Structures are given as C-alpha cells and as structure tokens.
Amino acid sequence: MNDTRKVTIKAFRFNAETDYLPYYKSYEMEVGKDELVLDLMNRIKWEHDGSFSYRRSCRHGICGACAIKVNGKATLACKQNAIELLDLFNNEITLEPQSKKRAVKDMIIDKSDFWEKHAAVKPYIVADIEPHPEHETKQSIAEFNNFLDSDLCIQCGACHYSCPALEANEDYFGPAAFVAAYRFTVDTRDTAGLERLEITAEAGQGVWDCVKCFECAEACPKEINPIEKITKLHNLQFEKKVAKSNVATRHAEGFVRSIRKHGFLDEADIVVYSEGYLGMYKHLKTAMDMMKAGKIHWQDGVPFIDNMPKIKNLDEVQKLIEISMTNKL
C-alpha cells in the first residue's frame, strides 16, 4: 500500500514591506497519512522556500498560534490531519492567512483587532481579594462546569476570522470576545458581570449584531460552540435586567407577543413592534413591494384588524407561555 500521496499545495504569499499585491505559489510534495497541515507548512519552509512565514509554537493545539485557513476553512494547522483535508477538497488545497486583508507576511496577520476586542470585555476575574485570605474561594462542580468549556479557548482567532458579521461591521466584537465575556460573567468569583453584560449589549459592537450563521461553532478547534455562549449572553441580559428596550430586544421579546396571540409569528407585527411606528418609514418601500407581489396585505400590522392564521390548540401554547416564561423585557 502506498503510504504517501503526491500533491501540489498552493500557498498565499505576501510581504507587506515589499509587495504591492499578494500572489499564490505552488509546491509539490509527498504527504503521509499522519502528517498535519503544520508539517506541510514546515516542508514549504524547509524544503522549498526559507522565506515562507507563519506562526507556530506549541505543536499540540494549546497556543493557538498556527491558525490559518485552508480553502476558506478555519484550520488549526497543528491539529488538522492533512490527508483528511485533501480528501475533503479533492486534493486541491490552498493555504491562506486567517484574514487576507490583515496579512503582514504570508500566513502571519496583524491580529491587533482580535486582542483589542478581547481586552474590551475584561477577560479576567474582577474581585476584591483579601491580601491574606483565611480560606480558599470555593466553587461547586456545577458552578465550575458553567464556564469550563469556555475556559478552553486558546485565542487562536479561528471563530473571529470566520465571522461574517465582523467582515461587514468592524465595530463588532466577534465570537471569541463574547466567549470570554461569558466565561468571566458566570464565574461566581467575579463581580463585573453586569458591566460585561452592558458592554456586550451595546448595538454595533454587542451580541445583537450576531447574524446567527453558526460559522463560529463550525470553526472552533476546541469545540467551544461560541454562538451557544452568545445566546446565553442574550438570555443573561434579560435575566439580569440589563436589556434596554430597543429594536433588537423588542424583536426577540416580540416573538412571545405574536406566539401568544396566534401561535405563529405575525411577520408584519414583529416589524412594527420592533421598530415602533416612527421607525416604519424605513420599511415602506419593502412593504409596498411585498403588497404588490401578494406577500402581505393592507390589513397586516394594522391594529385591531386580525387576519392572521391561528394554530390549532392555541390555548396549549398560551398556557405553556404562562407557566414556562421566566424572562421579561
């Protein structure tokens, strides 16, 4: 059996000091079944071109330095088997930095945006500690488990640079910062939870700008599931009464209002309720277009006219809302 596979690997090349534009170079090599993407990068550097640059350090998935993208897929190079990726992409793979627009040299990017956003959520325990404590600060296993998986974050940036909301809005904190915000907010030793919830509730930078694409969950090499933590931060904002009434929070809470009345979401009402009547000017053209196509009708969203379909056994849903709902806006 042939244990190696002969392939051509493409790599993004760029030196911000000398190149006007990036370019791609191809490297032929034999890849063995146990080799990692990091081994391929080492081979490019050691056997083909000593100037090929990338970050690497621990080689066992702890330092987060060697995160890159392969065919657009977030990849921690020291953890990812190369043959698996070659199989997935039909033997054609291209190594690229996590963010091409932030490239400094080949795979190395300027990660300052990541660190600034990470720092902005106070990713540490804020507490007044006695200089000479007489006992340990104990936590139950359940309290510890609340943040255990979030604590596994290695700040590699895989989720951050896979997040499309960040691509479109540079103020947005991004999934890694939110994981850190969640991790310290639910730590029983910490006292800055409300402050973190307020920082991450802010429009533009906060959790309400999450587009719900689940790219972060897919990208994370430590299987932290950042969007799950983003949902928990959303819930905590209501639980801890940090949520202020605005278009985003009304949009979330407005679902209960619709479901209670109809079982279904009232598509017109949720827009009117979230935006307020004054905010509806933004949606007039869309509303007219949709009306023309027969998607919505003139009565939709008009108070006191109910032409909504209703689910069967609506009373069950009403009862369940009454006995299960815990949060309020």
Partner 1 sequence: MSQLKYALFTGCTAKQSTPELLSSTLAVAKKLDIEIIILEEASCCGASHLQDFDEFLAHVLNARNICYAEKLGLTMITICNTCQLNSAMTKHALDKDPELKARVNEKLAEVGLEYKGTSEIKHFLYALIHDFGLDKIKDSVKVPLSQFNIAPFYGCHNIRPSELHEGSNNYENSYVPTSLDELISALEGNPVDYDHKNKCCGFHVELQANHTSEVLAGNAMVDAIDNNADLMVTPCPLCHLKMDTYQDSVGKVIGRDIELPVLHMPQMVALALGCTEAEIGLKFHVQKATQVFTEATS
Within residues 212-231, the interface with partner 1 by CB under 8 A covers: 212-215, 217-218, 225, 227, 231
Q: Which of 83, 104, 120, 329 is in the footprint of partner 1 by CB under 8 A?
A: 329
Closest CA to 118 of 48, 174, 37: 174
Closest CA to 7 of 32, 34, 31: 31
Q: Tell me how many residues contact partner 1 (CB under 8 A).
A: 74
Which residue lies nearer to partner 1 by CB, 194 or 265?
Answer: 265
12 touches 105 (CB < 8 A): no
Which residue lies nearer to partner 1 by CB, 47 or 316?
Answer: 316
Q: Which of 52, 147, 178, 208 is in the footprint of partner 1 by CB under 8 A?
A: 208
233 touches 182 (CB < 8 A): yes
| 89 in contact with partner 1 (CB under 8 A) | yes
- Other C-beta atoms closer than 10 Å to the C-beta of 228 total 15
In the block, residue with structure tokens 């690229």: 96
Residue 230 CA to residue 236 CA, distance in Å, equals 10
Q: How far is the CB of 135 from partner 1 (least distance, A)?
A: 31
- Other C-beta atoms closer than 10 Å to the C-beta of 155 total 19
Q: How far is the CB of 320 from partner 1 (least distance, A)?
A: 5
Q: How far is the CB of 18 from partner 1 (least distance, A)?
A: 28
- Scan residues 43-72 and list those touching partner 1 (CB under 8 A): 71-72
Which residue lies nearer to partner 1 by CB, 123 or 301?
Answer: 301
Binding piece for partner 1, criterion CB under 8 A, among 2-10, 39-47, 146-154, 207-215? 207-215
Q: How far is the CB of 234 from partner 1 (least distance, A)?
A: 4
Structure-token pair, residue 315? 């009373």
- Scan residues 118-177 and list those touching partner 1 (CB under 8 A): 164-165, 167-169, 172
Torsion angle (degrees, nearest 10) of CA 167, 169, 171, 173: -50
Q: CB-based burial of residue 138 (10 Å sphere; 0-12 exposed, 13-18 middle, 19+ buried)?
A: exposed
Q: How far is the CB of 265 from partner 1 (least distance, A)?
A: 4
Q: How far is the CB of 186 from partner 1 (least distance, A)?
A: 14
Binding piece for partner 1, criterion CB under 8 A, among 41-49, 58-66, 95-103, 211-219? 211-219
Per-residue interface string for the shown chain with partner 1, residues 97-126, x marking contact by CB under 8 A: ------------------------------
Q: CB-based burial of residue 313 (10 Å sphere; 0-12 exposed, 13-18 middle, 19+ buried)?
A: exposed
- Scan residues 302-321 and list those touching partner 1 (CB under 8 A): 308-309, 311-313, 316-317, 319-321
Which residue lies nearer to partner 1 by CB, 108 or 159?
Answer: 159
- Scan residues 234-293 and list those touching partner 1 (CB under 8 A): 234-235, 238, 246-249, 251-253, 255-256, 258-259, 263-265, 267, 271, 274-275, 282, 285-286, 289-290, 292-293
Residue 67 CA to residue 221 CA, distance in Å, equals 9
Q: CB-based burial of residue 87 (10 Å sphere; 0-12 exposed, 13-18 middle, 19+ buried)?
A: exposed
Name the CA radius of gyration of the chain, rounded: 25
